[in-house]
Every structure is written in C-alpha cells, then in structure tokens.
C-alpha cells in the first residue's frame, strides 16, 4: 500500500492540475455531505439535562381572535395576575412549579460610576430559578417575601459579574437601573448563564429582579394593575398533558368569552424545529449525494485516462507474472488514495465552516438555542468518509477491470 501511495504521488506530480481538480471535486461532495449529516445528527442529539427540561416545561397563554383589516389575527391576552401561578401550583397535582417571567429588552445599569448595557433583563417569581435550572454561584436567590414586599434586590449572571466586578464579590453592591426605570437594586446573588436549550422558549436574561419591583410601579402610574400574558409551568415528568388539563380547569376564570387557553411545551417546539430541519436536510441531502457521485465520476475519468496512458506498464506487469487481481488491487488502491485526499480536504473545510453554514441556512427557520446545530458531528465525519471511499472504489472498479484485461500483446501493439 505504501508503494501505491508513493506511485500515486508521482502521478499527481506528473499531472498536477488534473489530479487537483479530481481531489477538489471529491472534496466538494464530502464537504456538503458532512455538513448535511452533521445538521441531521445534531438535531437528533439531546443531552440528559435538556431532555429533562423538554419533558417538563410548558407555557400557558390565553389567546384571542381580533380583526385587523380584512383578517382575523390570534393575539395573546393579558389576563393573568401574580396570584394565578401560586394557586395553580397549590391546586394542581401534576404541577411542580408555576411562575411568571416577564422579560424586557436592553437596560442600562450603573455601579460605582461604571456604566453597562444589559441586553436582556427580566422580572420573575422565585419558582423560576429551579424550573429553569439556574445554578447559583454565589449569594442567594430572592424569595416570595421579596416579591410580596417589592424588595429592590437582584440576581445577576456571571457575565455581568465578571464585567462589572472583576476579581471581587458583587453581593451587597448597588446597581442603578436607568433608561426610564430610575430604580436602585441590591445584588444578592450570582447565577450561571441560562442553558442555551431554553432560548426561544424563555428569553435569556442577565439580570433578574422580583416581579413588580420595576414594571409594577410603572403600571400603577399609568392607572392600573399589571396583568400578564403567560404562565410558565414545570410539570411532573411525563405528565404534561395532565398538567395542562388541570390548568385549564383551575384557570378557567381567566379565559373570557372568545378566548382560549393554549399550552406550548418546549418538547413541541423542539419537535417542530426537528421536523423543519429534517425536511430541509433531506432535500439538500439529495443534492449532496449527487455531488459525491459526480465527484466519484472524476475518479473514474482520471483512472481511465491513467490506465490508457499506462497500457505498456500494465502489459509488462502481466508478462512478469502479475495476476489480474493484483492489477485490479493496484488501480483500486490508487483510487483509494484520491478518495482519502478528497475526504481530508472536504472534512477540513467542513470543520471550519459547518457552524457558519448551519446558522445561515436555518437563520429564518429555527430559534437558535432550541437545537444546537453548529459544529461538525464525529459520526457524520465517519459516515462521510466511508461513503466517499465506497463510491471511489465503486467508480474505480471499472478502470481496474479494464487494466486487468490488458495483455502483453495488446500493450506492445499499443506502443
């Protein structure tokens, strides 16, 4: 085999352009197939923690139909109060936790004259921390008493902690919330960044304060009590449907005429995303397979040309006692070298581009974080290499058989 590699290297140096085009053809097919397979396999994979979240988390929303122009549009109605998740958790046998989680977009914070822009913050009730799997790094989470008393406290993510308080503990420090909020809160805890699997289902926040501390007074100044459009529920594992049925009974008084209580689980969102990705990858996969076949035809062409150019050599080898099987093996080994070179180039390109391609391909289709599609999948790499080698050997078989049929007489006549 080592002699075959050396001999193929001499062929490549002798015909560099033709050999390069063959390798690039195969590399293109390998690149496409490895990325498509990686997308499919990454969409299927689910780590245990993410699966546990998918099996328990759901949103409850009250939806209503409103006419906009000539069309009826489904909109979310704000009918829930802070007491609703409490009574749901108390009365439902299949609800482990129920909480309100109200995100808002960017907010400026200030600490000891250092200003920082937080891209996302939220107000929440205490059960959110356990249900969302937030891990406390330092300090403590706020309690229901903090929510009831509107205590101006906050828990921040490690991201903010490392930016504003490098090398020191932020617990006990003051944060001033600006940009029309005009509140000062005390940091009581630091948590690890939210699991990416939750983004799209629950907006990631880097600053969480008790429900009503900021948005409540703003609603009061506008002459009303703040109502909420969603309740998040952590159901007993495997009992999401039962939890939804109980919620529909317990919260029936919040569903007015013409409204409907709807439930959306994280598992459903992930299933819908997988279905969309599967459809696209199957469609793209057909073209990827065609690309590999076309690339392998390049191997067929170069090996046929090589056999014709080496007719005398093949005839002399047969005259010196080489069997037909040995001739076939030599040509197939040369095809194998080209297949491996193309595979190496294609896998290398896929390694550096797979994450970018997946983001661009599905930018408008899936919510980043719901499924982790980026990165090259090792199983996909192995399958792609096997596919490339197999097709290369298949298309190299015909030139190999043609070479084995050459006789010494034919070789001398050719010359």
Using left for φ > 0, alpha for ψ between -120 and 50, and beta otherwise, residue 396 falls in alpha
d(CA 100, CA 211): 8
Q: Is-contact 227 80, C-beta < 8 A?
A: yes
DSSP annotation string for 177-232: E-SS--EEEEEEEEEPPPPGGGTTTS---SEEEETTSSHHHHHHHTTS---BSEEE
pLDDT level of residue 374 (50, 70, 90 thresholds): low
Asked if the model's pLDDT at residue 389 lies above 90, the reply is: no
- Averaged pLDDT of the chain: 79
Q: State residue 222's pLDDT score.
A: 47
d(CA 348, CA 26): 13
Q: What share of the chain is helix, strand, coil (3-state, %, to 5)?
A: 55, 20, 25
The DSSP H or E segment spanning 107 is strand 101-111
d(CA 386, CA 347): 12
Domain ranges of the chain: 2-49+271-414, 56-264
The DSSP H or E segment spanning 413 is helix 408-414
* Closest residue by Cα to residue 303 from 282, 279, 324, 333: 333
Better pLDDT: 178 or 38: 38
Stretch 214-236: mean pLDDT: 72
Instruction: Give the pLDDT confidence of 75-106 residue by residue, as tens digits.
Output: 888 888 889 999 999 999 999 999 998 887 77
Better pLDDT: 12 or 99: 99
Asked if the model's pLDDT at residue 410 lies above 80, the reply is: no
pLDDT level of residue 367 (50, 70, 90 thresholds): very low
DSSP annotation string for 347-368: HHHHHHHHHHHHHHHTTTTS-B
d(CA 404, CA 323): 8
Q: Is-contact 52 237, C-beta < 8 A?
A: yes
d(CA 157, CA 15): 59
Q: State residue 370's pLDDT score.
A: 46
Asked if the model's pLDDT at residue 197 lies above 70, the reply is: no
Q: With helix as H, strand as E and coil as C, how does 382-400 read?
A: HHHHHHHHHHHHHHHHHHH
d(CA 150, CA 154): 11
Better pLDDT: 388 or 40: 388
Better pLDDT: 173 or 39: 173
Both ends of the chain: CA-CA distance in Å?
A: 29
d(CA 141, CA 129): 8
CA distances, 213 to each of 77, 109, 219, 336 (Å) = 22, 15, 11, 68
């Amino acid at each position: 085999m080592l002699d075959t590699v050396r001999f193929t290297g001499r062929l490549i140096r002798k015909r560099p352009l033709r050999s390069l085009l063959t390798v690039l053809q195969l590399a293109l097919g390998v690149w496409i197939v490895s990325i498509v397979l990686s997308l499919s396999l990454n969409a299927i994979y689910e780590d245990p923690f993410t699966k546990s979240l998918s099996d328990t988390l759901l949103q409850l929303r009250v939806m209503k139909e409103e006419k906009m122009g000539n069309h009826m549009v489904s909109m979310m109605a704000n009918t829930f109060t802070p007491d609703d998740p409490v009574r749901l958790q108390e009365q439902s046998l299949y609800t482990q936790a129920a909480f309100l989680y109200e995100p808002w977009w960017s907010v400026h914070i200030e600490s000891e004259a250092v200003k920082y822009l937080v891209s996302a913050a939220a107000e929440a009730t205490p059960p959110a921390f356990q249900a969302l799997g937030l891990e406390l790094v330092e300090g403590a989470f706020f309690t229901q008493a903090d929510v009831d008393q509107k205590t101006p406290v906050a828990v921040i993510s490690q991201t903010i902690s490392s930016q504003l308080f490098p090398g020191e503990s932020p617990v006990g420090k003051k944060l001033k919330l600006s940009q029309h909020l005009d509140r000062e809160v005390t940091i009581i805890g630091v948590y690890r960044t939210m699991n990416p699997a939750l983004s799209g289902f629950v907006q990631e926040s880097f600053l969480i304060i008790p429900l009503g501390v900021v948005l409540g007074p703003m609603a009061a100044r506008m002459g009303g009590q703040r109502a909420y459009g969603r309740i998040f529920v952590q159901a007993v594992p495997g009992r999401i449907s039962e939890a939804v049925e109980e919620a529909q009974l317990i919260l029936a008084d919040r569903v007015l005429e013409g409204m409907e209580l709807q439930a959306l689980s994280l598992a459903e969102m992930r299933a819908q995303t997988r279905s969309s990705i599967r459809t696209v990858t199957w469609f793209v996969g057909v073209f990827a397979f065609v690309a590999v076949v076309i690339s392998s035809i390049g191997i067929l062409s170069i090996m046929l040309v090589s056999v014709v150019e080496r007719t005398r050599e093949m005839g002399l080898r047969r005259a010196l006692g080489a069997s037909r099987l040995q001739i076939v093996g030599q040509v197939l080994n040369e095809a194998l070298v080209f297949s491996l070179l193309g595979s190496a180039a294609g896998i290398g390109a896929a390694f550096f581009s797979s994450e970018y391609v997946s983001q661009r391909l599905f930018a408008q289709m899936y919510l980043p974080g719901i499924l982790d599609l980026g990165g090259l999948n090792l199983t996909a790499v192995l399958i792609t290499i096997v596919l490339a080698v197999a097709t290369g050997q298949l298309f190299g078989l015909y030139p190999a058989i043609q070479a084995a049929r050459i006789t010494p007489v034919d070789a001398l006549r050719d010359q």
